[in-house]
Chain A
Amino acid sequence: MSREDEIDDRGFKRDLLASLPNLRAFAVSLTGRHDKADDLVQDTIMKAWANQSSFTAGTNMRAWLFTILRNEFYSQMRKRGREVQDSDGLFSERFSVHPEQYGRLDLQDFRKALDKLPDDQREAIVLVGAAGFAYEEAAAICGCAVGTIKSRVSRARTRLQELLGVSGESDYGPDAGDAAITSRAFGS
């Protein structure tokens, strides 16, 4: 092994590690639960490792990993068949696994609402609104047109507003001042 190869290997692992928290959050968003998400991340790591040679150094590793994870997710879903639509009972089971991880009650409500979106809308709004991808990158990850992503994000927003009963004011009355602080603190 040449010295250059060794440096490349270390770079690959380092970049992979750096992307993991974000990748894992995407997996939790897709699967709706931590245990399944972690299995999915594990499969993704193994696929990515085995296909290191197909990754072009200097390109966007995060987008590459997200694409692998997404493909893996849908191929596993196809194999298993679509799981039974969530009932309220299943929800409470799912969200009682790590209730503390969702903090405030309204964040759990948000999780439930997010889970009710169609898969294509959920992944679109998560990629663009939380994972930090541009519309173009999200389109490449999902293998669809940029316009498709835009309309999915827009439909997802509308649906989430309906599900959460957000009317624009009063719902967030006392907390409204926190919005700017939160978005600064979490600045994306």
Chain B
Amino acid sequence: MSDDEDRKKDEMTTIPHNELRPGAVPPNASISRKLREFYNAVQEEGIPDRFLELLERLEQAEKNAKSVNAK
């Protein structure tokens, strides 16, 4: 394999994180990171009580309906 081919291969391969110069972040990496940060921030808020209560009510309504049907 010639040096030229080696270089071409290198250029086409994604640069691993640890080989980046300090201060250099690939643009897509910082976009992806911010997207996940934003998304995770919402996820970490947990489940609001209104949804837990709603599910309780739905479950109870279903049980009631079934016990009526069973009679």
Contacts and interface: CB of A to CB of B under 8 A. Distances in A.
B36 A130 contact: yes
A160 B36 CA distance: 14
B30 interface: yes
Q: How large is the interface on B (under 10, 10 to 19, 20 to 34, 35 or more residues)?
A: 35 or more
A84 interface: no
Overall SS of chain A's interface: helix
Contact of A107 (B22, B38, B52): B38
Interface string B33-45: 1111111111111
B50 A182 contact: no
A182 B38 contact: no
B47 A20 contact: yes
A87 interface: no
Interface string A156-186: 0100110010111111111011011011001
B43 A42 contact: no
A125 interface: yes
B27 A166 contact: yes
Contact of B27 (A1, A106, A167, A174): A167
Contact of B35 (A9, A114, A167, A170): A114
Interface stretch (A21-29, A59-67, A75-83, A139-147): A21-29
Contacts of A179: 17, 25, 29-30, 33
Interface residues of A, number: 52
A144 to B, nearest CB: 20
B25 A176 contact: yes
A129 B32 contact: yes
B57 to A, nearest CB: 10
Contacts of A21: 42-47
A169 B20 CA distance: 10
Contacts of B58: 45-46, 49
A148 B37 CA distance: 25
Contacts of B66: 1
Q: Interface centre among B24, B34, B40, B50, by most A CB within 10 Å? A: B34
Given A166-B27, A186-B36, A20 B51 contact: yes
List 5 A-B pairs, minimum CB-CB distance, nearest first. A130-B39, A25-B42, A169-B24, A21-B43, A110-B34
Interface of B: 17, 20-48, 50-52, 54-55, 58-59, 62, 66, 70
Given A45-B55, A160-B31, A186-B40, 4 more contacts: A101-B42, A160-B35, A170-B23, A186-B37
